[in-house]
A and B are shown apart, each in its own frame.
Chain A
């Protein structure tokens, strides 16, 4: 492996890496620091769980806690949900003292207070009939049921009530007793017992599983469309996780893996891209207000003599200096009054907006460009597969042609990284390190485009042997440059090099 690396290092120089002295310097620094760091990034352990495994995980959590606190499982489940499935926190609070408050906060009747202290006016065991306060019908006691809080309704009304909550309101874990003002939660066994319709019970199970995943810090649904797996980690971190469906995402924020930019800035960026605020930026930069009536005007012709189309205004003014047209006299296309004070302020404001917009567009276009290319690389996989088959007919073994797939893999990784570097760069304040970063970015981008070119165009059956060497050199180089860039940014995070413009 070592010797292999050496050859490609040498090849780099030949394969047209044009770099300035600065670049070389940057590379040296980064390479040495990345070598120091090689042992550092520890493995991030996670599991991909199917829905059944999630349910099992939930059951296991309940058992774990039950082993210690010895409560009915139904109550343990409600308690765990209350503590967002944080077992340690539950135990801590449980052994903390105030038992009544503990159960009250979780909306459970304290199971140790039996017979319960809440007055139960409706339960009079001597009579055989009770009135259900929902349907107002008289029912034999056997048909009436309720939770530990003592509010009893007929089983049919319970079923109807739970069904409405589950199907109409989409409530699972947090259905409370049907009595007005009673916040005692309905446990899962009771729901299962009282809901007659299997379809509703399935939905309930879904809701419960979903709330288990969503309120559990250590679990996250794979955000890929139609994927039903969830990822389980042992501690939360902004790390890439790969789902069984093939989707790679950041465990912390759920977005596509976005190294080197951090979750917070990525989120801000995505919001900015989505926002209409950029439309208003465009308006601000490409239009002007009529200096008299303030209606917004987009210039659509060449003449600078503007006549406001607002019928109540019809103000004549000069587009260039925003002063009134009159003193311009007959010098139509030549505004010689440019420096007049009144117009200067308005122009300065527009200038500022325009430059901030063009800055944004600079980063946005490059970001979008890589995103678009990344989408096209899916097509590339198909064409590469075809080429690999072709090559195998030209006396190359299966193993010998695998480099092509590897090359596309690396191409995609590089595009993904480059895309995110533009988000990072947009928020980055200029300093010496940011210039090194930009050099690294430029270098990776040049190499990535070259690799892309090889893969899309240059492979023909005639030059196979030759191109293989080139492609391999190039992707190894890309891979290495990508690592250098990322390590440099990570080092910056540790050493606090990065200042942001926000």
Chain B
């Protein structure tokens, strides 16, 4: 089944949330931003879980590395933010990324806006990685990973400085 026909079979999607996810997916497949690639096979039938591969940007500390993000959407999307975590064997070592894949990024919770999208989230995460000047885990990594909820949205994030 070609990508497009797979997508077209979904054009009868009903809920507004599915319609929007459907459009986002199509756009992401057709015109992916550099270094961002959605794993089409991972996308479930109801579009509620996507895996997205992102590459470390050239000329940054993460050049040559590959990471995978897991997006989970509920039916309130885009009014409710997606749940986004790093998964797989390579979790980036970064002051805002915990070793269990949770990401401390304000647009994923408090500063979420329905006008943001999967693509803009990916680009934000990518630029968060790119601006890093020293690879290290967050200072409270050990404790957090031991005690946190599985869902990072249940964490009351206290956002660190944006400069890192």
Are A160's CB and B16's CB within 8 A?
A: yes
Complex formed: what's the CA distance from A49 to B69 in Å?
Answer: 54
Within 8 A of B (CB), among A129-188: 133-137, 151, 153, 156-157, 160-161, 164, 168, 178-182
How many angstroms from the CA of A137 to the CA of B23 in the assembled complex? Answer: 9
- Structural contact, A178 and B115, CB atoms closer than 8 A: yes
- CB <8 Å contact, B20 and A161: no
Residue contact B79 to A160, C-beta cutoff 8 Å: yes
- Within 217-236 of A, Cβ neighbours of B (below 8 Å) are at none
Least distance between A5 CB and chain B CB atoms (Å) = 61
Cβ of B80 within 8 Å of any chain A Cβ, yes or no, is yes
Neighbour of A161 across the interface among B23, B79, B107, CB < 8 A: B79
Number of interface residues of B (CB under 8 A): 16
A311 to chain B, nearest CB (A): 29
- Cross-chain contact A134 with B80 (CB below 8 angstroms): no
Nearest chain A residue, comparing its CB with the CB of B76: A164
Q: Kindly provide the distance from the CB of B82 to the nearest chain A CB, expressed in whole angstroms.
A: 14
A136 near B115 (CB under 8 angstroms)? no
The one of A136, A153, A179, A181 in contact with B20, judged by C-beta atoms closer than 8 angstroms, is A136
B137 located at the interface, meaning its Cβ lies under 8 Å from any Cβ of chain A in the complex: no
Q: Which residues of A contact B79 (CB under 8 A)?
A: 160-161, 164
Asked if residues A134 and B114 are in contact (CB atoms below 8 Å), the reply is yes
A153 with B115, Cβ < 8 A, contacts A135-B16, A135-B20 known = yes
The complex places the Cα of A263 from the Cα of B19 at a distance, in Å, of 56
Q: Closest CB of chain B to A248's CB: distance in Å?
A: 37
Query: 1/0 per position for B56-99, CB-CB distance to A under 8 A?
Result: 00000000000000000000101110000000000000000000
B145, CB-defined interface residue at 8 Å: no
Tell me whether B24 is interfacial, beta carbon within 8 Å.
yes
A338 to chain B, nearest CB (A): 46
Q: A151-B115, A178-B114, A180-B115 are in contact. Are A134 and B120 (CB under 8 A)?
A: no
Count chain A residues whose beta carbon lies closer than 8 angstroms to a beta carbon of B: 18
Partner among B20, B76, B107, B111 whose Cβ is within 8 Å of the Cβ of A134: B20
A214 vs B76: C-alpha distance in the bound complex, in angstroms?
A: 30
Given known A136-B23, A164-B80, contact A180–B113 (CB-CB < 8 A): yes
Q: Write out the residue numbers on chain B whose beta carbons fall within 8 Å of the beta carbon of A181.
A: 111, 113
Closest to B21 in A: A136
B116 within 8 A of A: yes
A161 to chain B, nearest CB (A): 6
CB-based contact A180/B120 at 8 Å: yes
Name the A residues within 8 Å of B23 (CB-CB).
136
Chain A residue with Cβ nearest B26: A136
In the complex, the answer to whether A133 meets B24 with C-beta atoms within 8 Å is no
A133 and B16 contacting across the interface, CB-CB below 8 Å? no
A133: chain B residues within 8 A (beta carbon) = 115
Check B115–A179 contact: CB distance below 8 A.
Answer: yes
Closest to B80 in A: A164
Q: What is the minimal beta-carbon distance from A278 to any residue of chain B, in angstroms? A: 27
- Chain A's nearest CB lies how many Å from the CB of B111? 8
The chain B residues found within 8 Å of chain A, CB to CB, are: 16, 19-20, 23-24, 76, 78-80, 107, 111, 113-116, 120
**Residue contacts A-B, CB under 8 angstroms, 27 given:** A134-B20, A134-B78, A134-B114, A135-B20, A136-B19, A136-B23, A136-B24, A153-B115, A156-B16, A157-B114, A160-B16, A160-B79, A160-B114, A164-B76, A164-B79, A168-B76, A168-B80, A178-B114, A178-B115, A179-B113, A179-B115, A180-B111, A180-B113, A180-B116, A180-B120, A181-B111, A182-B113
In the complex, given contacts A136-B19, A164-B76, A180-B107, what are 15 additional A-B residue pairs having Cβ atoms less than 8 angstroms apart? A134-B115, A135-B20, A136-B23, A136-B24, A151-B115, A156-B16, A160-B16, A160-B79, A160-B114, A161-B114, A164-B80, A179-B115, A180-B111, A181-B111, A182-B113
